[in-house]
Amino acid sequence: MAKSDQNRYRLVCFIVSVVLNIFLMVNLCISRKPLSWSAGAAAEAEAVASISCSGHGRAFLDGFIENGTPVCECNACYGGLDCSQLLPNCVADADRMSYDYSDNSYISQELEKNIRKLHAIVGNAVTDGRYIVFGAGSTQLLNAAVYALSMNMSSPAKVVAEKPFYPVYKEQTEFFKAKQFEFHGDASLLRNGTSNTNENVIEFVASPNNPDGNLKKAVLEEGPYVKTIHDYAYYWPHYTAIPAPADEDVMIFTMSKLTGHAGSRFGWGIVKDKNVYENMLKYKSLADSGTSKDTQLRALKLIKVVLEDGGRGIFNFAYRTMSGRWTKLKHVLSLSKRFKLQEIPLLFCNYSRTVKGASPAFAWLKCMKEEDSNCYEVLHHEANILGRKGSSFNAENRYVRLSLVKSADDFNLLMDRFKELVSKEEQIQTTQSSEL
């Protein structure tokens, strides 16, 4: 090759290489998808979907897991690790469509397992040897429990709750107008009567209580005629100290107050008695044919993330936020003679291993002045604050419930309004005195 040819050859190689460089760099920039937080979930979804199971089955993220990876769940009449074996003499099932998981339940076993793990770590409920039933939030499970408990009763059950109580207990029980139960008001009115009679009673107990945030026990003693539904929506380290694992017959929990995903509508019941559990499953089956699988998958992911660091991330953050809000509110109202907050005692928390101050989901505010008998109206008209009336909770309207679990924007606005209101207090008092 002549020298000039060799040079030309080298030059061409170099140019080709540089062009290739430019091409690759452009390609790299274009092909680098801008995915960040969703990339892991997307890859996980594609990985599980790509498991072929011989075309006779599927693997699911919320299905059966072995050694951390999803395994094939075979179509009816197929078996083997990859679903390639046709099972002999298997029944040709032409009954119903598949609404359920491959074990014929409406419940993801993987999600149930993680819920048990969560309670073990937090120490807020005993789940060993207990049945777990899923529902569309605690709202549905409360009603399922009332149906389940009253189904085997010989006469209609009186449904009660000690005041102040969460309004849905009454509204829901009354709405469903069932022959076998009826809402009967305040549980304390029955306290001294039931043990002598054979009246059937179902008592709702929320602990921490909605609206006042205090830990509660049932007013009535459980027995053959008295059953209790424990609403533990707020029994998490965000809102209260956890003195001991709850160990009641029927306990209701919900995702909405654990991670804030109220719109996902997911809750669970922990049930001791097999018959009550089966009645609740029957309710679920006839009410809506099981809990949405999309929702179950979402709940599974959320709980797995909570469990990753033993719950420290979410529980520390949420406790800090809630107790911070409580402290701020308390500080502002300490300057007022007109309003009083509920008292919540210091308690040792088994989860955080410390004595914990109050961090309730709600302020249960009392208007102290005689003329302020409607505290809701006082806040609404004088401060443009929207609470919920005491009468909604079967209590006096001198009380009003204020939610502290809303967004930071909502809480900050609430604080601003209270600061104004309290700073005007003296002036208002003067004005009112002169008016009287």
Which tokens in the block code for residue 413?
Answer: 């606005």
Nearer to a second copy, 35 or 355 (CB): 35
Q: Using CA atoms, how far apart are residues 149 and 428, in angstroms rounded to an integer?
A: 52
Q: How far is the CB of 226 from a second copy (least distance, A)?
A: 21
Nearer to a second copy, 48 or 65 (CB): 48
Does an H or E element contain 414, and which? helix 408-423
CA torsion sign for 264, 270, 276, 277 is: positive
| Residue 376 amino acid letter | Y
Nearer to a second copy, 263 or 310 (CB): 263
Q: Is the peptide bond before 88 cis (omega within 30 degrees of 0)?
A: no
Burial category of 159 from C-beta neighbours within 10 Å (exposed 0-12, middle 13-18, buried 19 and up): buried
Which tokens in the block code for residue 55?
Answer: 């075309």
* CB 299, CB 111: distance < 8 Å: yes
Q: How far is the CB of 398 from a second copy (least distance, A)?
A: 17
C-alpha closest to that of 303 among 350, 264, 247, 358: 264
Nearer to a second copy, 262 or 335 (CB): 262
* CB 360, CB 239: distance < 8 Å: yes
User: What DSSP string runs through 269-314?
Assistant: EEES-HHHHHHHHHHHHHHHSS--HHHHHHHHHHHHHHHHTTTHHH
Q: How far is the CB of 61 from a second copy (least distance, A)?
A: 12
Query: How many other C-beta atoms are found inside a 10 Å radius of the C-beta of residue 92?
Result: 7
Q: How far is the CB of 163 from a second copy (least distance, A)?
A: 19
Q: Using CA atoms, how far apart are residues 60 and 73, in angstroms rounded to an integer?
A: 8
- Give CA separation, 117 vs 109, 110, 189, in Å: 12, 11, 39
Nearer to a second copy, 220 or 338 (CB): 338
Q: How far is the CB of 113 from a second copy (least distance, A)?
A: 19
* CB 188, CB 219: distance < 8 Å: yes
Q: How far is the CB of 279 from a second copy (least distance, A)?
A: 10
Nearer to a second copy, 166 or 315 (CB): 166
Q: How far is the CB of 51 from a second copy (least distance, A)?
A: 14
Nearer to a second copy, 38 or 195 (CB): 38
Nearer to a second copy, 31 or 198 (CB): 31
Q: How far is the CB of 377 from a second copy (least distance, A)?
A: 13
Nearer to a second copy, 271 or 297 (CB): 297
- Give CA separation, 349 vs 123, 236, 319, 353, in Å: 10, 10, 12, 5
Nearer to a second copy, 101 or 319 (CB): 101
Q: How far is the CB of 330 from a second copy (least distance, A)?
A: 15
